[in-house]
Amino acid sequence: MLYRSVSHTRHPLVRTLAVLWAAVRVGLELWWVERRCARLPAPAAGELRRTLYTAQAVRLRVLMTRLQGLWIKLGQFLSTRVDVLPAPFTREFARLQDLVPPFPGAQALAAVADAFGRAAAGEGGLFAAFEETPVAAASLGQVHRAWVRADTLPPSQGAGAANRPGAGTGHAGEPQETAPDDGPAARGPTGEVPPPPAAGLVPVAVKVLRPGIERAVAADLGALMWILRGADRWTRLGRRVDLFALHGELAHITHQEMDYRIEAEHAARFRENLRGQPGLRAPFVFPEWTSRRVLVMEYVSGLRIDRPDELRAAGVQPQAVAALLARSYVRQVLRDGFFHADPHPGNLFVTRGGDLIFIDFGMMATMGAEERGHIARLITGAIARDYDAILSAMGDLGFLRPGARVPVLRKALALALDQLSGIPLERPDSAEFRAFLDEMREFLYTEPFQLPARYAFLGRALGILLGIVTSLDPDIHMLPLLREAALPLLGPRGDPAFGGAAGAGAPPLGASLLGGALGGALGGARDTLLALYRLPRRVDRLVERLDEGELHVQADLAGLQRRVEGWARATRGLADHMLAGVSAICATLFTIAHRPAYANTAWIAAGLLLLAGWRTSRR
């Protein structure tokens, strides 16, 4: 297949051809199956669709794995978009992992020298020692371990011991742990045991952008835009989702990740937000040693958060880590308005003392005060099981499209809250938990529900967090934990208490909950009274219009049926001709790329589509 060799090259034309051909093939398969399903009973048609979706999802996951870069991130992002894709796609894309072969260490050394105008290591070098074998490699960059002399630290780290790497800057009241402090059980990002550095040397992590990644990402974004234009014009997905907003959000976050100066700013802000929060840590970033393509930060290590057995062996309770992680995110969203949007297990580590370490701040997201207020109302409504308040907040956040069936949404909310409060969550791989998720996925995919692009990465982060938390503590009750974590951050009316320190001046938990419940009740009573006040006037107007004959229903079903059938034939014929044109373009591109087998296949597809369109238009 064409994309078998894609992982060995970043040539934009080859990547673009592979992606476009995959998109055309998916489109042709969907078109053919829908034509078959029109002649089948509903159960058989549903089974045929599920079989096709599963096969397509596996094939696309393999392609994304080979392409890496932007496509891995897109697949991981889509794995949480249950409102966009059917369940077979989201389940398969959830298996995507950002694991790629590292690029040579010599290229990393050259990037450091180019960024700072001096050698990375050796006589007069930036570092006293540089390990060319990376400790972690990802689609956009990789991380190397290096050592610097303590007396050569930048001025920002030389003002005093309290600001040096390993001093923690007040995060937990004890030194920040590095590789040697954790002893032989400490593990780096790759799971290996870091060697002890020489006396007087401080370990640092050097993050280097992958060579040529900007060119590959630009080609991938262009190919993705072509696909989204076709989907927006010719599929129902374009009517359900703002595809171009999603493209813009993905492009924005990817470009941010490829500029390490932005990541350094994110890290400093996040680290500052952690002040005064026991048990939470983040590495210090050296601004003097940061450029667009190179980032130098404090080297930290610990146990991976997704290995509960290793945590227990080290004397750490996974349940405590799960609660700590959940509380941290509630604060990040409600109080700070600045949250870590990529909390996968490779970015979260746990020290032997039970502290939680966040790393990798390229993918961060912000939230304004008004948005946090809506989310606070949503949380307060969930705690009080006030479905009207929840639906109102969801509407203000833009989660509901016009035409949403409120009774169905209320039933779905009741089911979800029952699962989160009345029934302990099972392990993510259990039959009960998977059945619940499948039911919710099907509902979100078929109902008029949407996740706006600006909340796309919040939704992804929450989906990942749910998996981590439930793996650490399968018996966790999310609503009680949410009540305990959120209420101290909410004012008496259910709004975020933005001012002061966390919990300072906040009302007692009972008062907060009572205030939120009373606020929701008073709001509901106000709306009810207003509706009752307007009701007689509306009824009078309705009766008047009936008497005057202004309201009438007129239907010509036979004529309507003929028009609909004509429109359907015209639409099918136009779609066939458009797909034929796309196939012809792909055939031409394959010819230019000297891929005759694929070119011939594309020409045959174009001919068949033209024939199908001609037959449709003649009926």
Q: Mind listing the pLDDT tens digit for each residue in 77-98?
A: 787 676 677 878 888 887 876 6
Element (H, E) at 579: helix 557-592
Domain co-membership, 578 together with 524: no
- Calculate the CA 517 to chain-centre distance: 32
- 343-354 pLDDT, tens digit per residue, is 888 899 999 999
User: Is the same domain home to 270 and 213?
Assistant: yes
Question: Does the pLDDT value for residue 204 go beyond 90?
Answer: yes
Query: Do both 127 and 204 map to the same domain?
Result: yes
Asked, for residue 471, whether it belongs to a domain, the answer is: yes
Confidence at residue 155, expressed as pLDDT on a 0 to 100 scale: 65
Report CA torsion sign: 117, 119, 120, 125: negative
Judge whether residue 556 has pLDDT over 50.
no
493 with 518, same domain?
yes
In a domain, 230, yes or no: no
Does residue 267 register a pLDDT over 90?
A: yes
The answer to whether residue 247 sits within a structural domain is no
The total number of structural domains that make up the chain: 4
CB 144 within 8 A of CB 130: yes
492-539 per-position pLDDT tens digit: 555 665 443 333 344 443 444 444 444 444 444 444 444 444 455 445
Q: What is the pLDDT of residues 119-148, one digit of tens each?
A: 988 778 899 999 999 998 888 899 999 999
Domain boundary among 519, 548, 577: 548
> Is residue 432 located within the same domain as residue 470?
yes
- Taking 60 as the threshold, does the pLDDT of residue 557 lie above it? no
Sheet containing 303-304, strands listed edge to edge, beginning at the edge strand earlier in sequence: 280-281, 356-358, 348-350, 303-304
* 237 has a pLDDT exceeding 80: no
Is residue 436 scored above 90 in pLDDT? Answer: no
Same domain, 199 and 329: no
Q: Are residues 467 and 573 in the same domain?
A: no
pLDDT band at 321 (very low <50, low <70, confident <90, very high): very high
Assess whether 456 and 563 both reside in one domain: no
> Residue 351: what are its φ and ψ, rounded to 5°?
-80, 170
Residues 383 and 517: their CA atoms lie apart, in Å, by: 9
Out of 321-330, 463-472, 510-519, least confident range: 510-519
Range of the domain at 129: 100-223+256-302
Banded model confidence at residue 201, pLDDT cuts 50, 70, 90: confident
Q: Helices 369-384 and 509-548 meet at what angle, rounded to 10?
A: 90
Instruction: Give the mean pLDDT of the chain.
Output: 75
Same domain as 539, residue 440: yes
Sign of the dihedral through C-alpha 130, 135, 271, 302: negative
Does a structural domain hold residue 272? yes
The CA angle 60-458-324, to the nearest 5 degrees, is 115
Confidence of residue 323 (pLDDT cuts 50, 70, 90): very high
Would you say residue 494 lies in a domain? Answer: yes
Last residue of a domain, one of 97, 130, 147: 97
Domain end (from 97, 118, 133): 97
- Same domain flag for 121 and 176: yes
93 plus 128 within the same structural domain: no
* H or E stretch at 205: strand 201-209
Domain assignment present for residue 164? The answer is: yes
Residues 209 and 191 in one domain: yes
Does residue 249 form part of some domain?
no
Chain segment 558-571, per-residue pLDDT in tens: 554 555 556 556 66
Is residue 189 domain-resident?
yes
